Structure 1
Amino acid sequence: MSGLFNMHGPRWLLIITVVLASALVFGSAAEAGADTGKSDRIVSLGGSVTEIIYALGAGSRVIARDTTSSFPPEAEKLPDVGYLRALSPEGVLSVSPGLIIAEEGAGPPETIDVLRNAKLPYFEIPESYDRAGIVSKILAVGDAINEAEKARVLANALDASLGAAQARAEARGIEHRKRVLFILSTQNDRILASGTGTAAAGIIALAGGDNAVTSFEGYKPLTDEAIIAAAPDVILMMDRGGDHGAANGELLAMPAVTLTPAGKSGAVVRMDGLYLLGFGPRTADAVNDLSAALYGG
């Protein structure tokens, strides 16, 4: 990263040029009192933020999105300004946004500093992986795009749906709560798994399961001994496949996995990553689907 933000390098000069140009454009419009319509030129950074904007009926105002914004399908037709946690300021600013809305955790920090100083509205939407957090996120996005009333209606409806989904999940797991191990990656035969404080831990709890790993926060590689000790009843993964997600046969053949209840029963659940971990408008459905996958019915 030090090469990217070398104050004497050509890349930094390009960033400064883009930022200054943006500042001149927005500053001139404000001084003239002109209505440029720029406030409708939204760049949405974060899959759940993009989903919420579309759910509020404001999708036509979005001009660009990040790579994680894969739903609804029409969002994928928009220009892609990069991966949420590896953004470049010149990429975001090149589309001449009037408003930037980003999930908490967008980065790197150097890029966010540039965007915050680009003389245009920048909103960071807090993340919290529980029912109240989703409601707060919807309301925050609604405030940012001046759709507060629509956001209130959507938030209330989703809160009710989540409450019902949680109740069904708790009923399904009342006799035996499943221990669930969320595996983020199996690259190089190393299992990278979720501890506490993650979207994975949050969705497992909402779906009536117990996170099998609670000894650390975030995502960390597990030793064979830790996998065996976690004793998951079910392994949960995203369905992206590729280098990061071993096929079921390969996963279940890993020596440590074969010794777990999930390995012995072949209990592996895979779901779309944004649907499962987005904590947005579809989360009540995701809770229902995950709960049914864990417990049946």
Structure 2
Amino acid sequence: MTAQDSAILPQPVAPRRPAASGTALAALAVVSFSLSFPATAWSLTGFGPWSATGLRGALAGLSAVLHLAAVRAPLPQRRHWPGLLVVSAGCVLGFPLLTTFALRTSSTAHSAVVIGVLPLATAAVAALRTGRRPSGAFWGAALAGAGAVLAFTLVQSHGRPTVADLYLFVAVLLCAAGYAEGGRLARDLPGAQVIAWAVVAALPATLLTTALGLGAEPVRLGAKALVGLVYTAAVSQLGGFVLWYRGMARIGVPRASQLQLAQPLLTLVWSVLLLGEQLPAAAPATAVVVLVCIAVTQRART
């Protein structure tokens, strides 16, 4: 075969990253996460904050053990464990506990909007951790979306952040680190195994928290409390993360994280429909700004 013949033959095409499916997975995760705060509020009708957090993590951990055994998943390599422990500390322990404490004194709607800065924090941590540098347009849209969310928060709290807001902002930092590490690990491990090993690693802490919480806090079992607990354990702490990390692995942490700008607005809807809270007057305007920012970040070069 001559060089000329070779030149006219069809050349192999490198497979493209399934960006559309990655975006769909991440979007489904955002929808599932948007119900986490209402579900947590329901769980608090029957359990204390320590009990609710411990049971959520323990049930997810035990489910993960069964999954890992069923698929005969090999132990992660040594280089994976530091990242898995960051996911455990941020997404399995820190974020659930701090947001549960916040929801004792803050409305679901207010807390959801404060968490709206999470996408910006996740993108920043991912950029520092991986060395990827999103474009100026990406950062501009991300900052605009976060700014809209922060302005909404200050208007709702009359310019005076509360103790609950402090809990929420610390929770954001911890969760952003867990999201970024999980998204990075999902390039080497299946998304289901990333969160599964993270909740298993946290089992000693969540089981201890459960035992201490149930011994010190009253329990008033009811349908809402049980539904809320099951949802936070099965979806918020496990199933949603499977979709989230798979989506991150396909489209990248920065781009996936910006889809979460829509989460506070979805939670606002659920807070009205499920909890009977009043929708803040500024919510529609904030929704428009945030949706525009999402559109820009999804088109911006990363």
TM-score (norm 2): 0.28
Instruction: Say which structure, 1 or 2, has more relative contact order (CA 8 Å, 6+ apart).
Output: 2
- Bigger Cα Rg: 1
Task: Specify which structure has the higher proportion of strand.
Answer: 1
Task: Specify which structure has the higher proportion of helix.
Answer: 2
